Amino acid sequence: MRLEPALQALLQSKDAEIRKLTKDRDGLQIKVAGLEDEVWQLKRILGASGFLAPHFLSLTKGEELILGMLFARDYCSKEALYDVAYPGNESSANSIEVRIHKIRKKLRPYGITIHTTWGRGYLITKEGKLALKQLIDEAAK
């Protein structure tokens, strides 16, 4: 059975659209995979991935990300901590302060302190990082 020319043209047009959309979808999937890889690499540079706190500290995932950044860097701005702890989310303005408070409370028994540096952000001293590294090493045994 032969289709009318108008229907034949419409069928070909729709078939071409489907092929284009399929190609676009595949391209987008590749692009998304590349962006996910870039985000992972940036988190690694920031110190936000690959850090495993001792389980006995009972940190949440967000707290562990924040502590990992503080451990890996000289200091961290509140904005950088927020971007890593709440990627793509809108949360309350004091949510980082609340998490820092909870982390401080969990680290206090081990003599590790998170300091606030006005205008710069938060930091853990070299001594605090050494103490934290000892905790991590002991937990790994």
Q: What is the pLDDT of residue 112?
A: 95
pLDDT digits (tens, 9 = 90+) for 118-127: 888 999 999 9
In sign, the C-alpha dihedral spanning 19, 23, 26, 32 is negative
> pLDDT digit string (tens) for 75-97?
899 888 888 787 777 777 688 99
Closest by CA to 69, choosing from 81, 78, 79, is 81
Tell me the pLDDT band of 104, cut-offs 50, 70 and 90. very high
Q: What is the DSSP letter of 94?
A: T
At residue 86, φ and ψ (nearest 5 deg) are -130, 60
The larger pLDDT score, comparing residue 125 to residue 41, is at: 125
Residues in the chain: 141
C-alpha 102/C-alpha 115 separation (Å) is 13
Instruction: Give the H or E element holding residue 101.
Output: helix 95-107
Token digits for 105? 């409370």
Question: What is the CB neighbour count within 10 angstroms for residue 81?
Answer: 24
Confirm if 109 and 65 have CB atoms less than 8 A apart. Answer: no
Q: Beta strand 121-124 with 114-117: parallel, antiparallel or unpaired? A: antiparallel
